[in-house]
């Protein structure tokens, strides 16, 4: 290890509201807290970032928030400004570094360790490209590709130290669950109620699923963070709008809107529910770390380019399930992601395998943790480049 704390700059653009910057923010905090790195997070949209950081002042060009310095990526990077280049520069999700900063990197001696933090994938090819170098075509710099992943030979996923013990303590404490629900304006669910969190992109399948829950025999409480799926929920409920005050019951179904919550309380929400619907990358990982069954709404891409990624994750996650349970899980996920499944992928088919899916969610944690976590793997690689 180096004899001094490393300085690290992470650059991230805000894409799709909170997904990319959510991952960058988690990584920044973990590198600062667990590895004592001096971390500066550059963000192009501080107003959106402020939702993730209670008390953050989006009007300031830079400020220290906890252990991390947050800087606005914009006016600060002018040609006439002297830039202090960090030991480690992380370009989150191919966001392209500002030309002025890139030029200053090339003049620094020694050159910083330059990382392209890519999107997570379970596809086989990721292991072949993880930690591969890419020399810059003009400048004396090398970019290293770092791929988070669900399998071996990848960078793993973000798992903070102490997360497992915090989750286990919370899930063993019904008082903590009731306190979380009370803080969100939710009464304690009645015994026998299935509690579901529903976080998704716009989704034509939502009305059918809500209808199945409405017409079912068992009570279902659906907790919906206010966001992109809100108009579809409102249409199903027959109300004008869907906001943080919305609560409605239709048959066996009760829908409760939730205000935006920060990362720690979102984790607790996932820990508290029997089933979690998640979207994108950040909540996809956090749902796995919750040790609860989940359904992933992957970010849709043109020409269905996202489907191989979805299938790869399904194959890994379900490989230890028996054939009926694996088939029900696959059908349900594909139907939720817009693939026609006929009568397959219905709620009752999925529900028949609830015990197996609960066990799968708990057992999966050991496999998820096997490659190590992103921050630890990244820190180890950086140290190897600095020797």
C-alpha 1/C-alpha 379 separation (Å) is 9
Cα gap 369→71, rounded to integer Å: 32
Alpha helices per DSSP H over 108-205: 126-129, 163-171, 174-183
Q: Are strands 220-225 and 113-117 parallel, antiparallel or unpaired?
A: unpaired
Q: Are 294 and 269 in contact (CB under 8 A)?
A: no
Cβ–Cβ under 8 Å, residues 131 and 124? no
The Cα 114–Cα 156 span in angstroms is: 19
Give the DSSP per-residue string, 323-369. Answer: HHHHHHHHHHHHHHTT---TTTT-HHHHHTTHHHHHHHHHHHHHHHH
Coil, strand or helix: which one is 233? Answer: helix
Q: Are strands 133-135 and 142-146 parallel, antiparallel or unpaired?
A: antiparallel
Angle between helices 354-369 and 282-289 (to 10 degrees): 110
Phi, psi for 188 (deg, rounded to 5): -60, 125
C-alpha closest to that of 262 among 13, 47, 54: 54
In the residue annotation, 87 being an active-site residue is answered as no
Three-class SS state of 223: strand
The reply to whether omega before 110 is within 30° of 0 (cis) is: yes
Burial of 94 (0-12, 13-18, 19+ CB in 10 A): exposed
Choosing from 9, 20, 118, 356, the catalytic residue is 20
CA distance 289 to 167: 9
Q: Given 9, 123, 281, 282, which residue is catalytic? A: 281
Contact 56, 65 (CB under 8 A): yes
Q: What is the DSSP string of 80-107?
A: TS-----SEEEEETT----HHHHHHHHH
Does 373 participate in catalysis according to the annotation?
Answer: no
Q: Would you please indicate which residues are annotated as catalytic (active-site) residues? A: 20, 281
């Amino acid at each position: 290890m180096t004899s001094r704390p490393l300085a690290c700059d992470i650059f991230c653009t805000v894409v799709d509201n909170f997904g990319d910057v959510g991952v960058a923010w988690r990584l920044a905090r973990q590198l600062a807290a667990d590895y004592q790195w001096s971390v500066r997070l550059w963000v192009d949209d501080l107003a959106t970032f402020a939702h993730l950081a209670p008390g953050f002042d989006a009007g300031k060009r830079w400020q220290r928030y906890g252990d991390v310095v947050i800087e606005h990526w914009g006016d600060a990077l002018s040609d006439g400004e002297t830039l202090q280049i960090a030991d480690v520069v992380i370009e989150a999700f191919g966001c392209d570094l500002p030309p002025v900063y890139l030029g200053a990197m090339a003049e620094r001696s020694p050159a910083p360790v330059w990382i392209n933090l890519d999107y997570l994938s379970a596809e086989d090819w990721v292991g072949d490209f993880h930690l591969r170098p890419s020399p810059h075509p003009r400048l004396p710099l090398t970019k290293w590709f770092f791929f988070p992943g669900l399998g071996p030979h990848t960078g793993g996923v973000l798992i903070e130290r102490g997360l497992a013990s915090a989750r286990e303590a919370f899930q063993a404490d019904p008082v903590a669950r009731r306190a979380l629900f009370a803080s969100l304006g939710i009464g304690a669910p009645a015994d026998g109620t299935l509690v579901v969190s529903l976080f998704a992109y716009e989704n034509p399948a939502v009305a059918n699923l809500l209808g199945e829950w409405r017409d079912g025999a068992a009570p279902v409480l659906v907790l919906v963070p206010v966001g992109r799926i809100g108009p579809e929920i409102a249409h199903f409920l027959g109300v004008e709008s869907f906001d943080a005050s919305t609560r409605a019951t239709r048959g066996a179904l009760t829908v409760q809107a939730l205000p935006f919550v920060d990362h720690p309380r979102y984790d607790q929400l996932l820990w508290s529910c029997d089933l979690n619907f998640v979207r994108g990358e950040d909540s996809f990982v956090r749902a796995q770390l919750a040790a609860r069954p989940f359904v992933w709404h992957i970010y849709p891409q043109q020409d269905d380019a996202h489907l191989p990624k979805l299938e790869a994750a399904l194959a890994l996650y379900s490989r230890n399930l028996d054939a009926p349970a694996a088939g029900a899980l696959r059908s349900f996920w594909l139907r939720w992601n817009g693939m026609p499944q006929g009568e397959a992928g219905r709620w009752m088919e999925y529900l028949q395998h609830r015990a197996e899916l609960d066990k799968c969610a708990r057992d999966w944690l050991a496999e998820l943790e096997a490659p190590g976590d992103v921050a630890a793997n990244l820190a180890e690689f950086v140290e190897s480049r600095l020797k």
